[in-house]
Amino acid sequence: MIDVIQNETKKIMFKCCKNYAAQKKVEVDKIQLVLGLTENGNTYTICEDYVPKEKYNIMQVLGVRIDFLGYSKIAPPFIAKSILRFSDKHKTHLSNTKVLCLPTKNEKGKDDMLLFVYSKNDYLETISFHDLFREEDIEPPKME
């Protein structure tokens, strides 16, 4: 289950950056997605050459109007727990702790994402999707 979540999230993040790049007519390697957390919940910021350009909501990141697969209920709690964990680990203020997602190609030439934890503009560590989404952080979506 966790492998599916990790792989799908990677694809979704890459596609989000790719769609923004196509819209702005720039190369995808010029685009970054920054994940954050505030008292109001998860934040998603699209950057171009590391300059924040647009705030997105989870539906914009997913690239859908209706989330039939339920990713908008599954991914945000994982991301929030991860950012809380990184903030605690590095003893940084929660609102300053961010995950920078860089679209790239892996050694096989397939779409991939590199992930880095930052506090403000200070690099803290390089992480993997395994670090971002851990089995113990699974939280069933709340039914409304």
Q: Which two tokens stand for residue 62?
A: 């997913």
Residue 143 lies in a domain: no
Q: Which of 114, 105, 109 is nearest to 132 (CA)?
A: 114
For residue range 4-54, list pLDDT tens digits in order: 777 888 899 999 999 999 999 999 999 999 999 998 999 999 999 999 999
Number of domains observed in the structure of the chain = 1
Cα 103 to Cα 106: distance, rounded to the nearest angstrom: 10
Sheet holding 97-105, edge to edge: 51-56, 41-48, 31-38, 97-105, 111-119, 122-127
Residue 144 lies in a domain: no
Q: Please give the pLDDT value at position 107.
A: 87
- Rounded to two decimals, the pTM is 0.89
For residue range 104-117, list pLDDT tens digits in order: 988 898 899 999 99
Residue 142 lies in a domain: no
Determine the structural domain holding residue 75 and report its residue range: 2-137
* Cα 119 versus chain centre, distance: 15
